[in-house]
């Protein structure tokens, strides 16, 4: 039994709340047998002098705070600062404790608050490790994710037990390819074929059961024309343990709480938690409907996995498997172009398979077809114009064009989307626009660093270049993917 599985005891602690941050309690370690603690709680809770905070304090060890004593020196360059931070953000291999899923090798966490790895963050962190020639840490990260695939059958959102209902955007194949660019161990993809294929099966789980009547199961969806594309999902339809109070409060007025919780969790799997991208009404969180949506970025990632598997099996002279994956990749790319391209808006959108039309959310997920060279030259030219007109701001590119107060909306710019957009434009020789994005983003990072001594998780790119707002936790030393993208862009 885990702390987050203790029923009304867990609920009482989270809703009071005993800790200001909902993530603290599920990360605590019981000082004695958990079942006994819960039994004692049931006995003591009705006593007139019972104090829940005191009870929790007596019975649980709070998670270690990773205070490094690290102090920034704003007189040094951002690059020198990042080089020092790699070791600050590195965590040693763990023992099993509290909710932590132990990993066999050292790893990098996104920021000082975190004691765990996060899946899609890690690819963008690795871009910087490559520039810093920290091949050791790159290898460790890939080995850790391979270990999670071996153990879980997929890579969870992060290495915590309460994250195991979901994954995050599948960047593992790209991580292996990135490592292959600097590794002496060639061809590295062969070493990780089993894990790449196993993760792909996780995303495609349920495909055999799809019919026109039962057209969606877990992460796979059959569209009206028979195309099969993917969506985000979560195995659970309950409040997230690490954001329990927030989720319960969001669902307070909902008549379909379990559906709402699933949509919230699926949005967490997307990495874009939260964004008007997932809302039918941009300003109404309760209109979230993530599992109705076929995300363009997810399907571009999976097309790349299919094409990569085809290439590996071609290399192994297994032509039947190679051809099967090649055909799957072609079918997916054709479906993306058919269902996610909106000619009148000159951009790639997510597709709402319930409404059978593209969503109205203009977001930088639409740059993924350029990053993976899926778009036609004509489409890429139109996308570039839309990016220039709608997304380009003095501090970089904005995540969406909607200002809602959600952190994955305007005015925030995020490092991973700067990189996807920049690299995607470069693929289609849109050098001038790509270089403006690069210059604006690097200048923002450098100016905020001079003012604060920190690299931030996100930035307000609409002019001030201030720290981005929204989200579920405070700013902290870091930030893994910002560091990674900064170094990669600086050297691009």
Which residues are known catalytic residues?
A: 273, 457
The Cα–Cα gap between 335 and 298 comes to: 13
Distances (CA, A) of 123 to 190, 294, 369, 383, 444: 19, 23, 18, 24, 22
Q: How far is residue 149's CA from residue 153's CA, in Å, rounded to a whole number?
A: 5
- What is the helix, strand, coil percentage profile of the chain, to 5? 50, 10, 40
Pair 401, 470: CB distance under 8 Å: no
> Vertex 22, ends 18 and 24: CA angle to 5°?
80
Bridge-partner residues for 229, per DSSP?
A: 221
Query: Using only C-alpha atoms, what is the Rg of the chain?
Result: 23
Other beta carbons within 10 angstroms of residue 12's beta carbon come to: 17
Half-sphere exposure (CA, 13 Å, Cβ side) for 363?
27
Burial profile 254-289: b = 16 or more Cβ within 10 angstroms, e = fewer: eeebeebbbbbbbbbbbbbbbbbbbbbebeebeebb
SS (H, E, C) 128-194: HHHHCCCHHHHHHHHHHHHHHHHHHCCCCCECEHHHCCCCCCCCHHHHHHHHHHHCCCCCHHHHCHH
**Cα 485 from Cα 480, distance rounded (Å):** 9
CA distance 124 to 420: 10
Which of 270, 145, 261, 175 lies closest to 219, judged by CA?
Answer: 270
Question: Is the CB of residue 420 less than 8 Å from the CB of residue 367?
Answer: yes
Tokens of 398: 């904005």
CA distance 375 to 348: 9
Asked if residue 429 lies in contact with residue 380, where contact means CB atoms within 8 angstroms, the answer is no
Distance CA 60, CA 14 (A): 14
3-class secondary-structure state, position 29: strand
d(CA 462, CA 474): 21
């Amino acid at each position: 039994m885990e702390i987050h599985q203790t029923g009304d005891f867990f609920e009482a602690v989270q809703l009071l709340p005993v800790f200001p941050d909902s993530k603290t309690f599920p990360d605590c370690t019981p000082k004695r047998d958990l079942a006994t603690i819960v039994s004692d709680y049931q006995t003591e809770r009705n006593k007139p002098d019972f104090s829940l905070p005191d009870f929790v304090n007596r019975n649980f060890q709070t998670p270690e705070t990773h205070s490094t004593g690290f102090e920034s020196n704003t007189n040094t360059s951002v690059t020198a600062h990042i080089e020092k931070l790699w070791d600050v953000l590195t965590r040693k291999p763990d023992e099993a404790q509290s909710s932590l899923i132990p990993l066999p090798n050292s790893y990098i966490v996104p920021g000082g608050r975190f004691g765990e790895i996060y899946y899609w963050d890690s690819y963008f962190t690795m871009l910087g490790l490559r520039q810093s020639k920290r091949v050791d840490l790159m290898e460790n990260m890939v080995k850790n994710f391979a270990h999670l695939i071996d153990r879980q059958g997929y890579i969870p959102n992060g290495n915590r037990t309460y994250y195991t209902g979901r994954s995050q955007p599948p960047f593992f194949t790209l991580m292996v390819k990135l490592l292959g660019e600097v590794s002496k161990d060639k061809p590295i993809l062969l070493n990780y074929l089993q894990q790449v294929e196993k993760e792909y099966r996780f995303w495609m789980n349920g495909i055999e059961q799809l019919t026109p009547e039962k057209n969606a199961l877990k992460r796979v969806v059959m569209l009206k024309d028979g195309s099969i594309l993917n969506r985000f999902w979560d195995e659970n339809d309950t409040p997230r343990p690490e954001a329990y109070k927030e989720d319960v409060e969001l669902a307070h007025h909902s008549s379909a709480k379990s559906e709402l919780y699933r949509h919230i969790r699926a949005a967490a799997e997307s990495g874009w938690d939260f964004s008007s991208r997932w809302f039918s009404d941009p300003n109404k969180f309760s209109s979230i409907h993530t599992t109705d949506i076929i995300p363009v970025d997810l399907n571009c990632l999976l097309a790349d996995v299919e094409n990569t598997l085809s290439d590996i099996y071609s290399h192994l002279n297994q032509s039947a498997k190679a051809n099967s994956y090649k055909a799957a990749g072609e079918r997916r790319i054709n479906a993306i172009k058919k269902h996610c391209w909106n000619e009148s808006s000159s951009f790639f959108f997510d597709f709402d398979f319930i409404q059978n039309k593209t969503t109205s959310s203009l977001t930088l997920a639409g740059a993924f077809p350029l990053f993976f060279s899926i778009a036609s030259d004509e489409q890429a030219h139109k996308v570039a114009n839309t990016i220039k007109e709608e997304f380009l701001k003095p501090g970089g590119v904005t995540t969406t064009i909607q200002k809602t107060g959600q952190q994955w909306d305007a005015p925030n710019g995020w490092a991973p989307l700067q990189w996807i957009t920049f690299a995607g434009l470069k693929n289609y020789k849109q050098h001038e626009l790509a270089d403006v994005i690069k210059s604006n983003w690097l200048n923002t990072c450098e100016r905020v660093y001079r003012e604060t001594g920190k690299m931030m998780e996100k930035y307000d790119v609409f002019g001030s270049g201030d720290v981005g707002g929204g989200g579920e936790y405070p700013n902290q030393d870091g930030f893994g993917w910002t560091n990674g993208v900064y170094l990669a862009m600086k050297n691009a």
